[in-house]
């Protein structure tokens, strides 16, 4: 018989098999923190875009540079994931898809939607 | 206001701000898809419209409130050292208020009433 101190504690995240809803949830948080860090850049971009025609041009060109495209891709993923998982939570708040089987399906569905949107975004960047 | 009520208020504000941002983002994407290449003058004129400026101001208000509640929840869950948690919360609060003032200055400078 296991004593209290011998009981296994599966705190190693790589040993825990997380249900898909938990993965959606933690990605919602991670993407939220990324988006929080984006706030000053978004406002700087707004400031630049209204300052002068030259600054407007450089603000528009920001999305053309390959380095910012790469960072931008992470941020676009953050926004897309946070957006769709957020809508999933809002629907749950009004009692849509609250039970376990529905939550599992909607979690996979959200991952699918995010994947499709990201493929479209990357596709439009390559064109 | 009790702690319980403050949690309820945070929950509600998080939902209201998210609904507003969803509507705003969808509207912006539609506008972007419908319009041709956007020039500086078109952009300035758009933001000079008080209705648009207020809509943008509400978007940033929602964003900053949403970010505050979200970061607060993350810190309450993952930062057990109380002193560090309070310092980080204070830093985030000051940062978000500064961001709000910055946006207000930008919008006031472009809006034509």
Residue percentage of chain A with pLDDT more than 90: 66
Q: What pLDDT does residue A62 have?
A: 76
The answer to whether A50 and B44 are in contact (CB under 8 A) is yes
Res A50 pLDDT > 50: yes
Question: Which among B18, B70, B110 has the least Cβ separation from residue A50?
Answer: B110
What is the average pLDDT across A35-50? 96
User: Taking chain B (113 residues) in consecutive chunks of 10 residues, what is each chunk's mean pLDDT?
Assistant: 68 96 97 91 96 98 98 94 96 98 97 89
* Class of domain B3-110 (CATH, top level): mainly alpha
Q: Which ipTM did the prediction report? A: 0.92
CA-based radius of gyration for chain B: 17
Cβ-Cβ contacts under 8 Å for A98 (sequence gap 6 or more): A92
The answer to whether B75 and B84 are in contact (CB under 8 A) is no
The answer to whether B43 and A49 are in contact (CB under 8 A) is yes
CA A117, A118, A121, A123 torsion-angle sign = negative
Q: What pLDDT does residue A4 have?
A: 64
Chain A residues within an 8 Å CB radius of B99: 39-40, 43
Closest-CA residue in chain A for B44? A50
Confidence of residue A126 (pLDDT cuts 50, 70, 90): confident
Single out the residue of B67, B72, B74 nearest to residue B96, CA to CA: B67
pLDDT tens column, A104-125:
999 999 999 999 999 999 998 8
Instruction: Return the domain boundaries, chain A.
Output: 19-126
Instruction: Return the domain boundaries, chain B.
Output: 3-110
Confidence of residue A10 (pLDDT cuts 50, 70, 90): low
A93 close contact with B: CB closer than 8 A = yes
A to B CB pairs, distance under 8 Å: 50
* Class of domain A19-126 (CATH, top level): mainly alpha
Q: Do residue A50 and residue B67 have CB atoms under 8 angstroms apart?
A: no
Mutate to test the interface with B, among A39, A79, A80, A91 (most CBs of B within 10 A): A39
Q: Do residue B43 and residue A50 have CB atoms under 8 angstroms apart?
A: yes
**Which one-letter DSSP state was computed for residue A7?**
S
């Amino acid at each position: 018989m296991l004593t209290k101190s011998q009981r296994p504690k599966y705190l190693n995240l790589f040993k825990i098999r997380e249900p898909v809803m938990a993965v959606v949830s933690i990605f919602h948080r991670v993407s939220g923190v990324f988006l929080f860090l984006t706030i000053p850049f978004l406002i700087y971009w707004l400031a630049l875009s209204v300052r002068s025609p030259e600054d407007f041009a450089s603000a528009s060109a920001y999305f053309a540079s390959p380095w910012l495209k790469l960072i931008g891709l992470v941020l676009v993923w953050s926004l897309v994931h946070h957006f769709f998982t957020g809508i999933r939570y809002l629907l749950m708040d009004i009692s849509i898809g609250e039970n376990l089987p529905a939550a599992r399906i909607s979690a996979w569905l959200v991952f699918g939607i995010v994947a499709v949107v990201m493929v479209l975004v990357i596709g439009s960047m390559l064109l | 206001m009790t702690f319980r009520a403050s949690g309820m208020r945070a929950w509600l504000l998080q939902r209201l701000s998210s609904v507003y941002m969803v509507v705003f983002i969808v509207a912006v994407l539609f506008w972007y898809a419908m319009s041709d290449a956007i020039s500086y003058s078109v952009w300035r004129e758009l933001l000079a419209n008080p209705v648009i400026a207020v809509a943008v101001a509400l978007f940033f208000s929602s964003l900053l409130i949403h970010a505050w509640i979200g970061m607060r929840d993350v810190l309450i869950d993952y930062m057990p050292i109380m002193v560090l948690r309070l310092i980080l919360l204070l830093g985030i609060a000051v940062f978000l208020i500064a961001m709000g003032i910055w946006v207000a200055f930008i919008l006031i400078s472009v809006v034509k009433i």
